Structure 1
Amino acid sequence: MNSWAQRSIDIANNGNYLDQLKAIYRIDIPGMRDIDPELVREIAIAHSKKDARNVFIKSLDLPVFPIEHPYVAFIRYDPDKFIKLNPQVVEYIGNAILALRIDEILLLGAKAKRPVKRYGQAFKSWLLSLPYRKLDIPQFSTVSLGSNEIVICDESDQEYEDFANSQLRCGLVKAPDLLLRKGDKYILGEAKFLSDLGGGQDRNFSDAMDMVNNHNGNAHRIAVLDGPLWLNGPDRNQTRGVRNTNADVMSALVLQDFISHF
């Protein structure tokens, strides 16, 4: 196992991993959505009268429909038409809403939006906050550096990709999340917060591992990964992958140490 992966495992299992990680991947939690007081009154009246049809109609105006049902999206395309044409479905779903207390309907109808997941943007903002010089492409590639001097390329993702392919001949198919120099050596990599094991997160993990295991070009490749993949216990694709590679795979929490020792 790579030593940086081992350090990442130790931190995730034995330290305040998430408390430290939130400085990098800060996720703002949105509040509940607003509901028009008049709509609240109308839903309450329909609920008190056990009016399944009307409570269904009024619930369509809530920020979030209080019952998850696949037919609701269909009806939304033309409510007036499809409510008239499908009275049994409207009655059925309306009765399911009436089975809830009025406070439950309103709570479900005002459900908060999911946190916006801008992990790549959050990582890059954190990266550029580190105590290294930041240079644009012309300076980044030409500045004279001592063997231990470190500079970060401060450019757009597209500029990252263009430089990696045209100057470093890496043959990337997507932009890296980090690009830096230490002396005359280049480091590039992908950074991902993988919120779970499996599903789409496995595909993101595979993309990162494919990148770090491809040695084309004149840059050292790393994968900066965070999430449950560092936990001891789960035997899953991600947890096995980070333990069975010699590539430089690590948590963002050890990235600065890696750069110092590179």
Structure 2
Amino acid sequence: MNHWTQLSCDYANQRNYLDELFRVYPMAPEGVREPCEEAWNDVESAFKRKDNVALFKALLKMHVFPLKDSYVAYLRRDNTAIDRNPNTIARLCGRIYQLGLNDIYRLCTAPAETNRQIGPLFRNWLRKGELGAKVITVSEFDKKNGNQIIMGSDAELLHAASELCGYEGAKGLDLLAYFNGKFIIGEAKFLTDFGGHQNAQFADAVAVLNNAPASLISVAILDGVLYIPGNHKFRKHMAAKPKHTILSALVLREFLYQV
């Protein structure tokens, strides 16, 4: 296993890992999302008239649709299908009427799930200067200025990594840094569980390692369940790929200063 991966495993299993990780990924629940008043008025009106089509279309304008149903995503993508499939709309609206207006409002204004907030949190943490280096934009980068964390949009970082250090990957990066005269790139993920979408998240981060030229230092900055001991897919990969630098955000600072 890679030294930095082992260090991350040890940190996660011997110290207050989750308490410390909260500094990087502060999963604070958001408040209730206020609906558009006009959209909610349309919902109330259609509900009282029992107008299925109008009710369904009005609910699609809310932050969250009040039902979990596989057909809703299709109808959201193709609004013309709403008028062409009255039985499906009647089935869905039947369940909506059973909820009542109070529960519909509660579901439509529910706070965002914490797993939908994770994306920008790592970069927010970088912007705070937690790594002890200058935090700059792509246009401000100059090798003469020493250690630097380069910030920008996905497209800006991808272009900069290509121009500055020959990275040819197709996906955006979460980390583009310059330490001790060397460029370091990385993708950050918080893996909240095993299997399914989390496997894809893991694969995305590892793809950065596979796509980076040998002359470029690349890391997968991964946190979460992958450091739990066991015979799971993440652990097997980490054990089988010692050349892959997979590490926790909590040891990233130490890694960067020693490159």
TM-score computed with the length of structure 1 as normaliser:
0.70
Contact 2:136 2:148 in 1 (8 A): yes
Residue from 201, 204, 214 that aligns with 1:204: 201
Residue from 188, 205, 215 that aligns with 1:218: 215
| Matched AA of 2:148 | V
Residue 12 of structure 1 corresponds to 12
Larger radius of gyration: 1
- Encode CA deviations 1:104-129: one digit per residue, 9 max, x unaligned: 66654554443473544321221232
Residue from 186, 189, 193 that aligns with 2:190: 193
Contact 1:229 1:242 in 2 (8 A): no
Structure 1 pair 56–28 and aligned structure 2 pair: CA distance change class (3 A): farther
Q: CA deviation at 1:249?
A: 0.9
- Encode CA deviations 1:70-125: one digit per residue, 9 max, x unaligned: 5667599589967xx85x77776666567668876665455444347354432122
Does residue 260 (structure 1) correspond to residue 257 (structure 2)? The answer is yes
Mapping for residues 135-214 of structure 1, pairs under 5 Å = 135-137=136-138, 140-143=141-144, 145=146, 150-214=147-211
Residue 124 of structure 2 corresponds to 125
SS of equivalent to 1:167: helix
Structure 1 pair 34–55 and aligned structure 2 pair: CA distance change class (3 A): farther
What's the Cα RMSD here? 4.0
* Bigger mean CA offset, 112-121 vs 89-98: 89-98
Mapping for residues 16-55 of structure 1, pairs under 5 Å = 16-32=16-32, 54=50
Contact 2:209 2:218 in 1 (8 A): yes
Structure 1 pair 232–34 and aligned structure 2 pair: CA distance change class (3 A): same
Residue 50 of structure 1 corresponds to none
SS of equivalent to 1:24: coil
| Matched AA of 1:225 | L
SS of equivalent to 2:241: coil
Residue 49 of structure 1 corresponds to none
Q: Distance in 2 between matches of 1:96 and 1:140?
A: 56
SS of equivalent to 1:153: strand
Does residue 230 (structure 1) correspond to residue 227 (structure 2)? The answer is yes
Number of corresponding residues: 247
Contact 2:187 2:220 in 1 (8 A): yes
Q: CA deviation at 1:253?
A: 0.8
Contact 1:55 1:94 in 2 (8 A): no
Q: CA deviation at 1:43?
A: 11
Q: Distance in 2 between matches of 1:110 and 1:154?
A: 33
Structure 2 runs not aligned, ≥5 long: none
Q: Distance in 2 between matches of 1:201 and 1:155?
A: 25
SS of equivalent to 1:232: coil
SS of equivalent to 1:190: strand
Q: CA deviation at 1:251?
A: 0.6
SS of equivalent to 1:175: coil
Contact 1:161 1:174 in 2 (8 A): yes
Q: Distance in 2 between matches of 1:166 and 1:191?
A: 21
TM-score computed with the length of structure 2 as normaliser:
0.70
Q: CA deviation at 1:153?
A: 2.4
Q: Distance in 2 between matches of 1:159 and 1:81?
A: 42
Contact 2:53 2:82 in 1 (8 A): no
SS of equivalent to 2:120: helix
Q: Distance in 1 between matches of 2:232 and 2:191?
A: 13
